[in-house]
A and B are shown apart, each in its own frame.
Chain A
Amino acid sequence: SQQGEEDPQALSIQEGENATMNCSYKTSINNLQWYRQNSGRGLVHLILIRSNEREKHSGRLRVTLDTSKKSSSLLITASRAADTASYFCATPLGFGNEKLTFGTGTRLTIIP
């Protein structure tokens, strides 16, 4: 079963613009992860944010977490062609559960 759902399903922007993707989930969690998947490759971990954190940065990535709304966002600033990929949020199936569930993904296309 899927816990997370990303929005939008697809996003196309010009190189240099910022890209924002959202993730909503259903049950209480202790952390949330974001992954990137390039075409034909495996998923690559980007960032993990814990439930007691509101915001986290890693390079051009900024992730926010709002546990009251059960939602998270991933912002990529100054996008590059190499950022073209699918992005997934991943959450534990439930609080204390050892299994990670992945959302449906946002397909991001950066137009050079």
Chain B
Amino acid sequence: DAGVIQSPRHEVTEMGQEVTLRCKPISGHDYLFWYRQTMMRGLELLIYFNNNVPIDDSGMPEDRFSAKMPNASFSTLKIQPSEPRDSAVYFCASSPGKGVDQPQHFGDGTRLSIL
């Protein structure tokens, strides 16, 4: 079975550029989560969706960050404009039910470096 697929795996770009991260969740999973992982702050939840609807975006650090889920098989996380402090590994995860009651399935992440 295909797991959660994220692209790209690595992204290096210059400050000020727009960055778009992509995620394909596991088919049939109705919850989708975006996380950010850094050495300093650990794993942080940015936003999550239920049935394609954003439920809680309180973890999104600034208005420069936005996320969409136009259909059940695709989500994007966009940063515009990007800044060096956005450098981190960004993970997408999906679960078949509430993420607190069900295992979350993670992609292998996008390692983002903003120069």
Contacts and interface: CB of A to CB of B under 8 A. Distances in A.
Interface of A: 2, 30-31, 33, 40-45, 48, 88, 92, 97-105
Contact of B4 (A42, A48, A99, A101): A42
B64 interface: no
Contacts of B105: 45
Interface string B64-104: 00000000000000000000000000010100001111111
A2 B40 CA distance: 12
Contact of A43 (B91, B98, B100, B102): B91
Residue in A2, A30, A45, A88 with the greatest tally of chain B CB atoms within 10 Å: A45
Nearest to A48: B103
Given A44-B106, A99-B56, A104 B42 contact: yes
Contact of B43 (A48, A88, A92): A88
B101 A43 contact: no
A54 B5 CA distance: 35
Nearest to A103: B42
B11 interface: no
Contacts of B56: 98-99
Given A98-B55, A98-B56, A98-B98, A45 B103 contact: yes
A45 B91 CA distance: 14
A102 B91 CA distance: 13
25 contacts: A2-B42, A30-B100, A30-B101, A33-B104, A40-B108, A41-B108, A42-B108, A43-B43, A43-B93, A45-B103, A48-B102, A48-B103, A88-B43, A92-B100, A98-B48, A98-B55, A98-B56, A98-B100, A99-B48, A100-B33, A100-B45, A100-B99, A100-B100, A101-B45, A103-B42
